[in-house]
């Protein structure tokens, strides 16, 4: 049984703004997480969350804007927004909770565990069961950059897979990619419950380009229209005069996008320490063996830089953005192109 008190009636109509109160825990810092429901009549329920990792602000801004700008009369069904999940981590510009916990490794959660697990349990047992669609917005955080896009894990169930793919595509980003995860992530649990799950990587690093923030807003509101909870015309890349998005297959480990210590940035691991020079812009095609960057050695200026070759032919999707690197550090996210039909036809 959840120990979290929700101050709004999730079944109630109209716009309600309140909090999730967690039991006090001196290790975990703040214990109040904002939650908002905008409900009107019949229709699907969509859960929108951001700030799962505290230092990923693009989605938090889009979610806060959603709360202010969407009127109940525009909604058919219900939008539940948790705009800044890891509230204290966000305030501290940290990926992790003050206890060190990674909220996106806390699922399905535990009602008797530490605060992050209690909150994950509330998501798993109250919010996900109430939702038809779950949108969790990430970026690469403070020390990385990923081509701004919507992405997804690939569920076994082909019907769910197609619905997730179509919702992901409604973000209208130039790229989408597919990833694997360890099974204890927020999207894993929502997917297990059969939900249409859309996740994002909206750039990253500390400055948010205006175009990325605009894309976060346009993508989020278009997905809400696509699933039928928000009024207005759905736009597609075709209706915008854009070519189809490029789909990239990044399902090659159990790591997490945006975690530069391990995970999807494992496509290239630094063979030496030094200063990382990037030679290819993210979003560019790369050939197997092509150098995407090189590492200079300030302690040995006479020696040539160490080149970092792409392990596959595909697209450079993300990079570590802090130039100082340590030997063994993960630096780049690269994956081959995959065709839409091939993805949908996979067993
Ligand atoms: Zn994240």
DSSP letters, 161-191, are HHHHHHHHHTT--SEEEEE---S-SHHHHHH
Element (H, E) at 20: strand 14-21
Cβ-count burial of 248 within 10 angstroms (0-12 exposed, 13-18 middle, 19+ buried)? buried
Q: Is the pLDDT of residue 256 over 90?
A: no
Helix axes 210-226, 158-169, angle to 10 degrees: 130
Mean pLDDT of 171-192: 93
> Which range (67-81, 150-164, 241-255) has the least confidence?
241-255
What band does 259 get if pLDDT is binned at 50, 70 and 90? very low
Rounded to the nearest angstrom, the distance between the alpha carbon of 103 and the centre of ligand 1 is 9
Q: Is the pLDDT of residue 250 over 80?
A: yes
Closest CA to 187 of 141, 120, 251, 130: 120
Rounded to the nearest angstrom, the distance between the alpha carbon of 257 and the centre of ligand 1 is 7
State the pLDDT at residue 66. 98
- CB-based contact 141:204 (threshold 8 Å): yes
Query: Where do the domains of the chain lie, and which CATH numbers do they carry?
Result: 5-250 (3.40.630.10), 268-337 (2.40.50.100)
What band does 260 get if pLDDT is binned at 50, 70 and 90? very low
What band does 29 get if pLDDT is binned at 50, 70 and 90? low
- Kind of pairing, strands 196-203 and 330-335? unpaired
Predicted TM-score (pTM) of the model is: 0.95
Rounded to the nearest angstrom, the distance between the alpha carbon of 8 and the centre of ligand 1 is 27
Mean pLDDT of 70-89: 97
State the pLDDT at residue 146. 97
Rounded to the nearest angstrom, the distance between the alpha carbon of 52 and the centre of ligand 1 is 6
Closest CA to 168 of 151, 180, 147, 189: 151
Cβ-count burial of 159 within 10 angstroms (0-12 exposed, 13-18 middle, 19+ buried)? exposed
Closest CA to 82 of 123, 114, 113, 121: 123
Rounded to the nearest angstrom, the distance between the alpha carbon of 14 and the centre of ligand 1 is 30
Q: What percent of the chain has pLDDT over 70?
A: 95
Rounded to the nearest angstrom, the distance between the alpha carbon of 265 and the centre of ligand 1 is 13
Rounded to the nearest angstrom, the distance between the alpha carbon of 305 and the centre of ligand 1 is 32
State the pLDDT at residue 181. 79
State the pLDDT at residue 31. 81
What integer best gives the mean pLDDT of the chain?
94
Rounded to the nearest angstrom, the distance between the alpha carbon of 151 and the centre of ligand 1 is 12
DSSP string, 244-287: PPEEEEE-S-S--TT-TTSSTTBTEE-SS-EEEEE-S-TT-EE-
State the pLDDT at residue 307. 98
Q: Is the pLDDT of residue 6 over 90?
A: yes
CA distance 334 to 313: 8
Rounded to the nearest angstrom, the distance between the alpha carbon of 66 and the centre of ligand 1 is 20
Q: Report every protein residue that has its C-beta within 5 angstroms of ion ligand 1.
A: 53, 56, 138, 258
């Amino acid at each position: 049984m959840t120990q979290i008190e929700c101050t709004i009636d999730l079944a109630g109509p109209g716009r309600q703004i309140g909090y999730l109160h967690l039991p006090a825990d001196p290790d975990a810092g703040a214990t109040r997480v904002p939650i908002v429901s905008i409900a009107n009549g019949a229709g699907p329920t969509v859960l929108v969350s951001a700030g799962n990792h505290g230092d990923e602000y693009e989605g938090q801004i889009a979610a806060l804007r959603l709360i202010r700008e969407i009127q109940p009369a525009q909604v058919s069904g219900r939008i539940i927004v948790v705009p800044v999940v890891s509230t204290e981590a966000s305030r501290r510009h940290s990926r992790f909770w003050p206890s060190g916990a990674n909220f996106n490794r806390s699922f399905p959660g535990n009602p008797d565990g530490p605060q992050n697990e209690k909150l994950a349990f509330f998501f798993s047992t109250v919010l996900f069961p109430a939702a038809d669609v779950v949108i969790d917005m990430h970026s690469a955080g403070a020390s990385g950059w990923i081509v701004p896009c919507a992405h997804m894990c690939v569920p076994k169930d082909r019907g769910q897979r197609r619905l997730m793919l179509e919702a992901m595509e409604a973000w209208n980003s130039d790229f989408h990619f597919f990833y694997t995860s360890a099974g204890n992530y927020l999207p894993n649990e929502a997917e297990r419950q059969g939900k249409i799950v859309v996740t994002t990587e909206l750039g990253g690093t500390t400055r948010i380009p205006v175009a990325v923030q605009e894309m976060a807003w346009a993508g989020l509101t278009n997905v809400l229209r696509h699933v039928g909870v928000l009024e207005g015309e759905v736009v597609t890349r075709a209706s915008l005069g854009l070519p189809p998005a490029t789909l990239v297959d990044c399902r090659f480990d159990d790591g997490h996008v945006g975690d530069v210590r391990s995970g999807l940035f494992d496509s290239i691991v630094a063979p030496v320490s030094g200063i990382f020079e990037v030679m290819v812009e993210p979003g560019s095609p790369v050939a197997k063996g092509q150098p995407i960057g090189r590492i200079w050695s300030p302690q040995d200026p006479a020696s040539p830089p160490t080149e970092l070759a792409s392990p596959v032919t595909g697209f450079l999707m993300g990079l570590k953005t802090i130039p100082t690197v340590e030997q063994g550090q993960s630096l780049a996210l690269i994956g081959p192109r995959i065709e839409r039909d091939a993805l949908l036809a996979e067993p």
